[in-house]
A and B are shown apart, each in its own frame.
Chain A
Amino acid sequence: MASEQDIYEEHVLDHYEDPYHRGPLNGATHAHEADNPLCGDQIHIDLKLTPDGKVVDAWFDGEGCVISQASASMLVETIEGKTLEELQQFSAQNMLALFGPKLTPNRQKCCLLSWRVLQSAIHSPLNPSDDELGGPSFSGPSLGEES
């Protein structure tokens, strides 16, 4: 469906061309990656968390459409300094709101890829001894996978 609103707003294209913290993070404590098989979008997120569960540093890498990459850039930019509890409370709706322009359901999947990766990353310590960092496990909304 064609929409009047341009989803490629200036700040979206800015994040796409000049992303925040794109690349690997040395000294990451947590990491995860996933893809959308339907379109091939890929996102990897590296996090450095303090022992009490605060995000010191967040980086992403990946490839795919403007929406998936720009939204990942916005996400890692916004989560630095946040606590684990705040990340767990950061819902899919919050993610769509952070992105800005209204997206059709198919394009929402592009935008929510990095959000899904983040929610898994906080439970994926690179060194298993760092496990059990975050208290209660994440039980937020799950997204249906495309077949």
Chain B
Amino acid sequence: MPTLTHCRDDFPILQRSVADGIPLAFLDNAASTQRPQSVINAITDCYERYYANVHRGIHTLSEESTTRYEKSRTSLARFVNAEHDHEIIYTAGATAAINTVARSWGNENVTANDTILLTIAEHHANIVPWQQLAASVGCRIEFLPLQDDFNIETDAVRSALERFQPKMFAFTAASNVLGTTFPVTEWTRLAHEHGSTVLIDAAQSAPHQVMDVQAWNADFVVFSGHKVCGPNGIGVLYGKEKLLEAMPPFLGGGGMIRRVTTDGFEPAELPDKFEAGTPPIVEAIALESAVEYVTAIGLDEIEKHEQRLATHADTGLRQIEGLRMIGPETRDRNGIVSFVLNHAHSHDVAHALDASGIAVRAGHHCTMPLHRALGTSATTRASFYFYNTMDEADRLIAAVAEVQKKFAPTGRKRQPRSSG
């Protein structure tokens, strides 16, 4: 069986142990991934050799920093297969990218009579900005529900598009809880047929699957740097040139203007128009290293490896009596496995797993509406990345079985409190 285990040597943090010398099994990658040495080196290299502000100085360091910053944009354009480099806007993260679209495109194009269509599987970053838009312009928000098998069928998407005729259909390419991936190209085509603009939240797919925004024909695509082995504090907003050009700037400040007078300002061309202030310079340069790193491994290989690990974990965990898997049994799955135990709350599960050196996430994973629809307030989530191993998947299964046993009722009797 092919393995990507050799990649582990590239990650200093994966060499550490936790909990009395037990090797760390880091299974919280959907929240944030770890960084290889090459990305850490890119950060220190910039600060040690050529860091200065970009687009401003005439001096050597500023020229070098600017060249590297723009080279990063070119690499990212290639990574997502954008037609033009200036369709790549650097933001503070995926959240900031969605806010940019909701505020700039939304305020310009959405009125009180319009509808925004979302899925119930969205994380808060793809819900709250639209709710803020609704509060401002009075539009409606509709959610595509989950079926009993945790899926959303394309037929349901089609009928929602017909029924609501939304102005915007914003959906995640891959759920951060359910382990499902959605047919992005097909949904986008359907949305366009119904006159809707499309935003794809690729935060959980960009790190794991080949991305082709032109094949998707998406209008907007967003993702974060820190989930794809890059630094935090940077994200990408991809937008079709025509749409970005028609949008007003979102944040105002230096860098995003052509000219400022006491009477007003003239915005700069793309991409500067959406990059007010000093941009995430080092972060962009290190993000280029990160996408080069994962591209060198091969996103197809990464996806297959994660699917093997997650399928193995899913199969093993389902054998545990009293465990409810939150996700479909047969699916186009990603590396995410979420579950609830009848004998233990997810925080107790995560706490107990931590004692075995296993890092998982517990709670609602920034998807409170989804958890409400699932009838639970919290789940435990293991999320794999290419540097995880089959051994770690086995450790997870064994530790969860142990936790279920530990918290099972055994007829305990509380000792009456001694007085005094």
- Judged by a CB distance under 8 angstroms, whether B192 is at the interface is no
- Judged by a CB distance under 8 angstroms, whether B137 is at the interface is no
- Selecting from B203-211, B317-325, B346-354, B386-394, the interface stretch reads B346-354
A11 — nearest CB in chain B belongs to which residue? Answer: B415
Using a CB–CB distance below 8 Å, which chain A residues touch chain B? 1-4, 6-8, 11, 13-15, 17-20, 37-42, 63-67, 73, 77-78, 107, 110
Given known A-B contacts A40-B378, A107-B351, A14 and B415 have beta carbons under 8 A apart: yes
A18 adjacent to B412 (CB under 8 Å): yes
A17-B410, A38-B363, A40-B363 known; 4 new pairs, CB 8 Å cut-off, are: A42-B377, A63-B377, A107-B347, A107-B351
Which B residues between 205 and 240 are near A, CB-CB below 8 angstroms? none
Name the A residues within 8 Å of B189 (CB-CB). Answer: none
Using a CB–CB distance below 8 Å, which chain B residues touch chain A? 18-20, 22, 344-348, 351-352, 354-355, 357, 362-364, 368, 371, 376-378, 406-407, 409-415, 417
Residue among A1, A18, A19 with most chain B CB within 10 A: A18
B356 — nearest CB in chain A belongs to which residue? Answer: A2
Q: How far is the CB of B23 from chain A (nearest CB, A)?
A: 12
Bound form: Cα–Cα A41–B362 in Å:
12
Given known A-B contacts A17-B410, A17-B412, A65-B345, A1 and B354 have beta carbons under 8 A apart: yes
A18 adjacent to B414 (CB under 8 Å): yes
B348 adjacent to A66 (CB under 8 Å): yes
Name the B residues within 8 Å of A78 (CB-CB). Answer: 417
Given known A-B contacts A14-B412, A66-B407, A77 and B417 have beta carbons under 8 A apart: yes
B364 adjacent to A18 (CB under 8 Å): no
Top-5 shortest CB links A-B: A40-B377, A2-B19, A65-B345, A17-B412, A65-B347
Out of B355, B363, B368, B377, name the residue touching A2 (CB < 8 Å).
B355
Bound form: Cα–Cα A110–B410 in Å:
23
16 residue pairs A–B, Cβ–Cβ below 8 Å: A1-B18, A1-B354, A2-B22, A13-B412, A19-B414, A38-B363, A39-B346, A39-B362, A39-B363, A39-B377, A39-B378, A40-B364, A40-B371, A41-B347, A66-B345, A110-B347
Name the A residues within 8 Å of B346 (CB-CB). Answer: 39, 65
Name the A residues within 8 Å of B409 (CB-CB). Answer: 17
Out of A2, A15, A64, A66, name the residue touching B357 (CB < 8 Å).
A2
A109 — nearest CB in chain B belongs to which residue? Answer: B347
Given known A-B contacts A39-B378, A40-B377, A65-B348, A4 and B20 have beta carbons under 8 A apart: yes
A15 adjacent to B347 (CB under 8 Å): no
Bound form: Cα–Cα A104–B357 in Å:
17
Bound form: Cα–Cα A18–B368 in Å:
30
B413 adjacent to A39 (CB under 8 Å): no
Q: How far is the CB of B366 from chain A (nearest CB, A)?
A: 10
A14 adjacent to B354 (CB under 8 Å): no
Residue among A38, A65, A107 with most chain B CB within 10 A: A65
Q: How far is the CB of A53 from chain B (nearest CB, A)?
A: 22
Q: How far is the CB of A110 from chain B (nearest CB, A)?
A: 7
Bound form: Cα–Cα A50–B344 in Å:
37
Bound form: Cα–Cα A66–B349 in Å:
10
A37 adjacent to B368 (CB under 8 Å): yes
Name the A residues within 8 Å of B413 (CB-CB). Answer: 14, 18
Residue among B354, B355, B357, B377 with most chain A CB within 10 A: B377
Bound form: Cα–Cα A39–B349 in Å:
12
Given known A-B contacts A39-B347, A39-B377, A65-B345, A2 and B20 have beta carbons under 8 A apart: yes
Given known A-B contacts A2-B20, A39-B362, A66-B407, A7 and B351 have beta carbons under 8 A apart: yes
Bound form: Cα–Cα A60–B368 in Å:
25
Bound form: Cα–Cα A2–B363 in Å:
18
Bound form: Cα–Cα A67–B344 in Å:
11
Bound form: Cα–Cα A7–B407 in Å:
13
A20 adjacent to B414 (CB under 8 Å): yes
Name the B residues within 8 Å of A64 (CB-CB). Answer: 345, 347, 377
Q: How far is the CB of B170 from chain A (nearest CB, A)?
A: 23
